[in-house]
Amino acid sequence: MRRVQESIVLVTGASSGIGRACALELGRRGALVYAASRRPSDELGADLRRELGPGARIEAVRLDVDRADSVREAVARISAAGRLDSVVHCAGFGIGGALEDASDDEACAILETNLLGALRVCREVLPAMRAQGGGTIVLVSSIGGRIGLPFQGLYSATKFALEGLAEALSLEVRAHGIRVVLVEPGDFHTAFTDRRTRLRNAGAGSAYQEAFARALEVIERDERGARTPEPVARLICRILEARRPRLRYTVGPAMQRAALQMKKILPGRVFEAMLAATYRVGDRSAPRRGRTT
C-alpha cells in the first residue's frame, strides 16, 4: 500500500464536517487530494488552501453525488492524472422526524444522496482501480447504520443500506485488489447538526411532535458537546496506509461504541427500552440518561 504522502485521494463531501477534516488531514500529510463537493470549486479550493498554507497539493472539484453526469465528469478529470489510489466518501445529510410523517419525496431525497450517491461514486471509480490493480474505498457510515435511531429513521435506513452495499461490494472487488472499508462515527461536533433538516409534517399537527422535540434535544445536545471530527480523519489516514484493513471501524464516544456490543448481547426489547429512556421517547417523565448512540 502506498504511503499517504504518495497517494492520490478523492474526498467527497469535502466542504464541511468529516469530509473537510479528511481533506485537510490528508493534505497536511502530503497526499494529492481532490476535494469534492457541490460548493463552487474556486471557493472551496481557496478555503482549504488558506487552512493548509502554501505548497499543499489540493484540488477542489465540483461534484454533486445526486447527478450521475456530475460524478462521471469529476472522476474522469481525476483519472486523467494517471491513477486514483483511494476514495473517501463522506457526502450525505440528515433529516429528522417520525417515519409516519415522512413523504415519499423526502424519503427519496435522502436515499438519492446517502445511498445512490455512494453507489454512483463507487461505480465510476472502480474501472480505474481495476485497471491499476487495486485501490481503497472508504465509505463513511454511522453508528446509526448499526442501530436504528428514533426520529432519524430515514437517515438510519440509508446508513443500514450503505452497510449492506459495502459488504457486498467488498466481496465483489476483492479479487481485483480493491479494499472496501466502512467507518462508523458516533457523535462529533460538525455543521451536520445545524444542517439537519426536518420533515415537513414534523411540526404542529404531528402525533409525534413532543416526542420528536425531546429526542432532538438529546441528539443535538450530545452532538454539540462532542469533539470535532479530526479523530475520524486520523483514523481514515491509518486505514489508507494499512496493509489489510478491517471491513468496519467505529470511532467516537466510548459509550456509543459500547452500545454496538450491548445490542449483540441484550434481548431486543431490553435494548429498545434502554434506547427509549436515552432518547426520552418512552415514559416522558423518565429521567435522561447518558446517550448511547
- In tens digits, the chain (293 residues) has pLDDT values of 568 878 999 999 999 999 999 999 999 999 999 999 999 999 999 999 999 988 889 999 999 999 999 999 999 999 887 789 999 999 999 999 999 999 999 999 999 999 999 999 999 999 999 999 999 999 999 999 999 999 999 999 999 999 999 999 999 999 999 999 999 999 999 999 899 999 999 988 999 999 999 999 999 999 999 999 999 999 999 999 999 999 999 999 999 999 999 999 999 999 999 999 999 997 554 444 444 44
- In single-letter form, the type of residue at position 226 comes to A
Residue 33, C-alpha cell as written in the block: 487530494
- To the query of whether residue 86 is one of the catalytic residues in this protein, the response is no
Strand-pair category, 178-185 with 248-251: parallel
Backbone angles phi and psi of 46, in degrees to 5? -65, -40
Domains in the chain, start-ordered, CATH in brackets? 4-253 (3.40.50.720)
Give Cα separations from 14 to 37, 66, 91, 178 (angstroms): 6, 15, 8, 23
Name the active-site residue from 34, 155, 208, 279. Answer: 155
Q: What is the Cβ-side half-sphere exposure of residue 19, based on CA atoms within 13 angstroms? A: 26
Name the active-site residue from 15, 79, 86, 142. Answer: 15
Strand-pair category, 197-198 with 86-89: unpaired
Name the active-site residue from 16, 86, 142, 159. Answer: 159
Work out the angle between the directed axes of helices 268-279 and 209-224 (0-180°, nearest 10): 80
| pTM of this structure | 0.93
Give the pLDDT of residue 3: 82
Question: CA-CA distance, 239 to 206, in Å (whole number)?
Answer: 44
Give the pLDDT of residue 283: 58
Name the active-site residue from 16, 79, 86, 141. Answer: 141
Give the pLDDT of residue 151: 97
- To the query of whether residue 279 is one of the catalytic residues in this protein, the response is no
Question: Where does residue 184 fall: left (phi above 0), alpha (psi -120 to 50 degrees), or beta otherwise?
Answer: beta
Would you tell me how many other CB atoms lie within 10 Å of the CB of residue 164?
A: 11
Backbone angles phi and psi of 9, in degrees to 5? -130, 130
- To the query of whether residue 155 is one of the catalytic residues in this protein, the response is yes
- To the query of whether residue 208 is one of the catalytic residues in this protein, the response is no
Angle at alpha carbon of residue 138, lines to 236 and 2, rounded to 5°: 65
Question: CA-CA distance, 154 to 282, in Å (whole number)?
Answer: 20
